[in-house]
Every structure is written in C-alpha cells, then in structure tokens.
Amino acid sequence: MFAIARSELIQIFRNRLVLVTGLVIPVAVSAFFVYRHEIFAEAAGLGYIAAIVMFTVMTFGLYTTVVTTLASRRQNLFLKRLRSTAAGDVGILAGLLLPVTVIALLQVIVILIVLGAVATAPAQVLLLVVAVLATLAMMVGLALATAGLTNSPEHAQVTTLPVSLGVIGVASWVGIAGTDDLAPLKRLLPGGAATELVVNAWEGGVAVTDSLVLLVPTLSWVVVAVALAARLFRWEPRR
C-alpha cells in the first residue's frame, strides 16, 4: 500500500493539472474567504466561512482529484496491472487515495488554524475535528462511487459537477440561512448536516450531544456512497 502511495504522490507533483485543481485553486479560494473573513462573518458568521473553506478543499482538492485519478489509472490499465500484484483491492485503493487524502486534510487543518488565528478560535475544537473527519469520509465515499461512472479523466469534468456544485450549494444554503426552516431537508442533503455541525463547533451555543446527532446523516451518506461504489466501481475500462 505504501509503495503505491509513494508512487502516487510522485505522480501528483508531476501533474500540473492536478496541482492546480487539487492544490492551488482550493488554497486560493480559501485564502480569499479568510482574508475577507470580516465581511463574510458579518453576513453569515465564522462557522459559515469554516464550512465553505472545508468543502472547497474537500470538493476540489479531494473529491474531484480522486475521481480524475481513478479514471486515469483505469484508462491506462494501471488498476488492472496492480490487481495482478500481491496487493489486495483495499490496499490498492488505499494506496492510491492516501496521498491526496492526507494533502487535503492538511490543507483544511492549516487553513482553519489560520482562520482561528486571524479571527476567533472555534468554541469546540474536538467537535470540529469530528466534523472534518466525517466530511472527509463522505467525500472519499462519494468519489469512489462517482469514479464508477467515470470512463476517462476528461469525463470526470462532467461526472463530478453534480456533487461538487451540489455540496457547495447546500453548504452555502445551510451556512447562510441556517436550519430554522426546512431543517430535515437541509440535513438530509449531502453536506447539510456537516455544515451545521461545523457551524455549531465553531460558534458554540449548542450542546455537544445535540450536535453529534448531526453525524448520522453524514455517516449515512458514507454508507450509501460505499454501497454504490461497491456496485459501480470497475477495475478495467468499459468496452
């Protein structure tokens, strides 16, 4: 697994497109939100900024990159060749996903630390950590499911749009409007409960037990995504 991960990390830094979409763009967008945090905080609160930053990295830096990577490795038969080695299916996927997952997680951590330093630190740090990890798991699961529907890296530009735009849209909706109205719908949509959890963790004022309930919809999406991935994922190009 670690040999695969090391090889994949090298490929990431050699691929300019992946570097731009997976590293530069998320950091640039997040830096803008952090730099103008006073304006956005006045309109929606720091919790909203934290959620948007998190989902920007998780969507463009993690989700899109994973789908594109798996589609590319399938198209050039690299996945097929890996299955002929001693590595198991789980080890292969873990090795391929480990570098980009760790990079995305480090990006989120650094950006949120900077936001807390220039603005106000989160009220419940441990709850924020739980929210970030749950979101990470959800986005990885959705990426595996989407990769099963993606025939090529070029095709990934189309197949990743619904989830990418949908998650960012839901996060903005919940972060700005809150969940006073249509709460069940907002929490059931992918990213809705996670956004509310981040807002609660950053701004406080909500009991931890009440916030932890919000993990249920997010983790349910993980289960659904993994089930879809198990059904849809292909190791060889479709004929």
pTM of the model: 0.92
Residue whose structure tokens are 């990890």: 133
Q: Kindly report the CA angle at 54 between 49 and 60, in degrees rounded to 5?
A: 120
What one-letter code names the amino acid at 28? A
What one-letter code names the amino acid at 211? S
CA atoms within 13 A on the CB side of 231: 7
Tell me which residue of 117, 103, 125 sits closest to 35, measured CA to CA.
117
Q: Model confidence over 65-121: pLDDT tens digits?
A: 999 999 988 988 888 888 888 778 888 999 999 999 999 999 999 999 999 998 888
Distance CA 65, CA 24 (A): 12
CA atoms within 13 A on the CB side of 214: 31
Least confident of 37-41, 158-162, 189-193, 215-219: 37-41
Residue 12 confidence (pLDDT) above 90: no
* Contact criterion met (CB below 8 Å) for 108 and 53: yes
pLDDT at 239: 61
pLDDT at 191: 92
Mean model confidence pLDDT for the chain: 88
Residue 238 confidence (pLDDT) above 70: no
What percent of the chain is predicted at pLDDT more than 90? 48
Tokens of 26: 């998320």
pLDDT at 86: 78
pLDDT at 219: 92
